[in-house]
Amino acid sequence: MKRIGVLTSGGDAPGMNAAIRAVVRKGNYHGVEVYGIYHGYEGFIQGKMKLLDLGSVGGIIQRGGTKLFSSRCPQFMEEAYRLQGIQKMREAGIEGLIVIGGDGSYRGAIELTKLGFHCIGVPATIDNDVPGTDFTIGFDTAINTVVNAIDNIRDTATSHENTFIIEVMGRNAGDIALWSGLAAGAETVIIPEEPYDLDEIVERLKRGESRKKKYSIIIVAEGAMPASKLAEMLKEKAGIETRITVLGHIQRGGSPTAFDRVLASRLGARAVELLLEGKTRRAVGIKNYQVYDYDLMDIMTTKHKADISLYTLSKELSI
């Protein structure tokens, strides 16, 4: 294989640039030309690409976002457009593709492999919800951003003796809420994977009050419910007044942490090796700190599982 492509797709994640850099540099190391495909699958369909040389990925390892831009592309659901994209790639001599993104992006890659186009997936999403890897690129940065925000909110919460509800991202997964809640010492964490008990939340708040603790931090994952709904319920149920902060897209930005840069470098480089070994329909991941690869099709049958032991621990530590 002498020429490959790389694209980023779905929600951007800090560390995507570090992964692009790794793909380009590793490709060049092995004498392979790497083309950046712009705007995700949209650019794939339209053949929007540019040769990325060594210098073009200089100075991006520390930058959040994605140099290649990203998109969510409904057209890609149609086979005719996928075939059009493959045609564009073949005309340009591109024989394989590295897809950096979440499980939605992986589904697109699977469809391409069914049409005979070689693809390797690299997991990148702040949600950490790609099955088959302990961590996705961007998750560590996102939880650090969230923890910094919670620390700031805690200052004002203690000063005014308020209860704060902080809504974090995680459409289907509670990982951001779990990890940041534990790291920031939140009193209550609500995630989509576990049922919540309003009576227990109220009791916990009251218990805090009875030992002269006048403020509380509740973290709620967006996939469980909106912060506003919980605020209404607490008010209705027990007359508890709360303040709300929805962190939103601030969680997707920022300079990637060292952990995310290292992860992105390792996974991006391994993805290039796999293409060069003639492999296709594989995804790279990390398990117990070791890089490995698995069949992309596994994501169709396996579901990401948040580490529920963190949920239990978080409850135990905030009695």
Q: Which is nearer to ligand F6P, 11 or 208 (CB)?
A: 11
Nearest residue to 135 (alpha-carbon basis) of 263, 45, 9: 263
Q: Which of residues 122, 126, 190, 286 is near ligand F6P by CB under 6 A?
A: 126
Q: Which amino acid is at 71?
A: S
Q: How far is the CB of 115 from ligand F6P (least distance, A)?
A: 26
- Does 127 show up as a binding residue in the annotation? yes
Torsion of CA 43, 46, 47, 53, to 10 degrees: -30
**Which span (120-128, 197-205, 212-220, 300-308) binds ligand F6P, by CB under 6 A?**
120-128
Closest chain position to ligand F6P (CB): 11
At closest approach, how far in Å is the CB of 164 from ligand F6P?
A: 20
Residue 85: C-alpha distances to residues 3, 70, 75, 116, 198 (Å): 16, 16, 11, 12, 50
Task: Quote the least distance from Cβ 144 to ligand F6P, whole Å.
Answer: 15
**Segment near ligand F6P (CB under 6 A); pick from 51-59, 122-130, 278-286, 304-312:** 122-130
Question: Residue type for 61, please?
Answer: I
Q: How many residues does the chain have?
A: 319
Q: Is 96 in the site for ligand F6P (CB under 6 A)?
A: no
Q: Is 170 in the site for ligand F6P (CB under 6 A)?
A: yes
- Is 99 marked as binding a ligand? no
Tell me if 223 is assigned to a ligand binding site: no
- Measured between alpha carbons, how far is 310 from 74 in angstroms, rounded to an integer? 36
Question: Cβ of residue 191: shortest distance to ligand F6P, in angstroms?
Answer: 13
Q: How far is CA 130 from CA 175, 273, 304, 307, in A?
A: 11, 21, 6, 13
Decide if 298 is catalytic: no
Q: Is 125 in the site for ligand F6P (CB under 6 A)?
A: yes
Alpha-carbon gap, residue 97 to 253, rounded angstroms: 25
Q: What 3-state DSSP class applies to 298? A: helix
Under the rule (CB under 6 A), what is the footprint of ligand F6P? 11, 125-127, 169-171, 222, 252
Could you give the residue numbers annotated as active site?
127
